[in-house]
Structure 1
Amino acid sequence: MQVFVARQPIFNRKNDVIGYELLFRSGYENAYNNIDGNEATLNVIANSFYEFDFKTITDNKKAFINFTEKLINEEIATILPCEHVVIEILENIEPTDEIINACKKLKEQGFTLALDDFVFDKKYNKLIEIIDIIKVDFIITQGYDRKKIFDLLKINSEIKFLAEKVESIEEYNEAMYFGYSYFQGYYFSKPTILTAKSIPTNKHGGLEILKLINNKDFNYNDLEALILKDVGLSFKIIKLINSSAYCLRNQVNSIKYAITFLGEKEIVKWLYVVLLNDLKEKKQDELIRVSLQRAKFCELICNKSIYKEKTFSAYIIGLFSAMDAILNCSMESIIRELNISDEVKEGLMGEENILNIMLKLVISYGRGEWEEANFFAKKIKVGINEISEIYLETLKWVDNIQCD
């Protein structure tokens, strides 16, 4: 499954790029297709953090992201790194007391706030008091109105003005002359589309997770168990907390660690973002089923061996063993992004350690290569007869997940 994000640079008066607006795209066509605004923003957030490295696609600069009234009130923005994100308040949002209070909270947490496609109305005065940037659409706003908007400095002297949809040298020179601080538009650059391959979330498991996290007293162990049954979600959670946005130094030794690291409120918000974005996709790949089968097979074999303390690592090496085929890129480039144990990394790269032997045993048994399977079973001191029982248990477990 391919995912897409477009970015358009924003320049300062010295023509330096100070940030990028991240835009929803559903394909290679460089245009917004008028889908629901909530869905578009969730898609941009999910793809920017789960599929790409956030700071890479923004070149370590500010990301300007559109937010609807619903997403502002639900405090979805708080899962994002405030020092790297500008919250764009869409022009169709009514400045109610609820919205103003929600924006004040975001401002207190360190977010930069921008008003998008702004057209002046007195009802915006309270909101203008806390706004950092006002974006003026140079297609909608013409002539002297492009200058008159600077009267808003009487309400908030700290406001910076951004001229957007600047499409000619004349408009750029006019914006410079009037005193605009930032500039965006086709005159400088059209949005650039970035694409990556994504692993879909299991629909049944995703719905189970949504059901669980809607319960205020949900159990972390139950959540961990559901996430571990989903290849895509496990990969995305680990990749997320290993992203440059979180600067994590310690290795991830369990999904529960990842959940605890993010915190209950934040993990729930992240799960909503990725699940609501993914569940509209119905396709499941056979490779995902293979990955789950290998993961459970490795885990159960590990439990029968003398290496029981490596159970989580055994599960993870099986889970990620087909990731290169799923994402169509080298295993080396994949594990570079993951802060998993060196033993798992080495095993995935083919270095013969205990985890790699378990993985080879699982793969050879699955292919019906009995001599090789027996050879690897002896190495970890597990009886080949026990393995046949484990294999049947594994198949039953995968079938119960209801991959479709």
Structure 2
Amino acid sequence: MQVFVARQPIFDRRQHIFAYELLFRQGQENFYSAADGDQATSQVIVNSFWLIGLSTLTGGKRAFINFTANLLKNEIVTMLPADQIAVEILETVDPTADIVEACRKIRELGFLIVLDDFVFEPRFEPLMELADIIKIDFQITGIEEQIKLIEMCRGKDIRFLAEKVETPEEFRQAMELGYTYFQGYFFSKPIIIASQSIPKNKTVNFRLLQQISSSLLDLDKLEKLIEKDVFLTYMLLKYINSASFGFRASIRSIRQALALLGVKEAVKWAALIVTRELAQDKPQELVVISVMRARFCELLANEAGYKERGSDAFLLGLLSLIDALLDRPLADILAELPVTSDVRAALLGASGLFQDIYQLSLAYEQGNWQAVVIYAGQLNIAEARLPVLHVNSLAWYKESGLE
């Protein structure tokens, strides 16, 4: 049996991840359909802490979790680590005296208090006095109302979080209004994480990933892995028969197909297949982002004059979401893969050539144009070339056969 939790990142003004909101999900469908808020929050707590593991979900960042009136009064939150949790008080919670007292105790224990989907009414003032963060729905709350509320809290130790930020323009507007934190589809949709061990087909694909990550690719081993899997054989023949290559000769063996592709193209094909298969129970968006990012990083390396390292840059982009695909810490996964030291370092946050390429790709995806200018300059890439390279990445993804 699988259990599910969706997580959505919350960013600070530098677009660094500050926390994750954990959301109840019944399955891979990325929406919430439960009517019982108590049950939903209880499931999030059980799934996050005792089945999936909070470190897997948040990587050490704080977890925002919705709490109903019943759960607040029953002090369920006191079972959880205060330094890792932000208590989101739902907009449906009536601020009665016992609720205010429960929140006071929770705050004294070290939990952050967040007022969710907040719309000001005088009766909420006791909760505002306890709040660390006020969360405002950016889509339904008028700008004048937002300004009035922010001004009302000026001088108090309260930060504001803009929720449902969906465009670069809305992000810039929220920045100008004085918000500290931001959440919404402009940054990332909720990503669903399930609790399960790697099944056998994922184990095979992980071995394939280990093989293609090696700087000393063994075509004999690659051939043996593929020839034992009908699906992999089919996908290889389908790929080599695509318009991208235009091969007219009949393919008589897997080795012939790999030889016609060449080592670099064979590695890219195998990497695409591995990504797709590892993500078979994940949102398709993860595959799209991984593949496009891989191609974009490769093109950025070429553009920066490092064409000989293009395949490394490709793997860098492709592996950037591998922790989300496997539900395991990135450092643990990389310890099992023979990637080059500079690719590993970049994925783990160390500075260097590949870190600049990686950060430029992320900045462009997120529309962080200030960072784009900085990283493009460091790599000596003309900014006018970036839209061309990004469109190329999308076209290449569509030709890959993964849609």
Structure-2-length-normalised TM-score: 0.48
Structure-1-length-normalised TM-score: 0.48
Larger radius of gyration: 1
